[in-house]
Structure 1
């Protein structure tokens, strides 16, 4: 006996032939649109900024507490793991900033046409890469 849900899994292809529908998009042929990927990344960087701010808070509280506490925090942040966390936090901050500007433009009603939101997404990625390189080049040159 066939289940009623089986009827929902049948469709017609472009030739009119009955075919079974796939259960989910095929991962090897499905590509995320850039806007969808950047929207998800915008949310993820928002979370990363919240977590990264804990590191910044620890550093500021240590600076206000004592020279020994500041030396411990500064030692961790200057370590390879601390620098990696700081680099990730700066990438998240800069990406979130440029992506937020893009979202503000959308809130104002600009950039909803297909070529515009694809190009603005690419611009966000390029601006992020350029700004991260500039920030780290300046930061490492004065360190």
Structure 2
């Protein structure tokens, strides 16, 4: 079904989608390859709250294909993408790593600036106050 949607979208031939030999616009390839990797559950997880591989790898791969980038450039793009998304995720969450262990971030005091919430989210498995 996804391939039928891709066919209807049309556009400039820039990057490939898994399971197809024809190229599609890079943004379409990134989006659909990301969806395919989600469907295959081919993703990593950071503290049960973020999935980087589907978005970072799919986007970097599509753009690398669009500009005919080297393998080194693709790997650098993936590394930078992981670093940026991990830092953003950690800055916006209640979970922090202290001495190699995950702990719930204290929402009163210095860490409050990192979050607009006053209590841990209900899905948090690390924070004892979470439901």
TM-score by length of 2: 0.34
- Higher Rg: 1
> Is the helix fraction higher in 1 or 2?
1
Higher strand share: 2
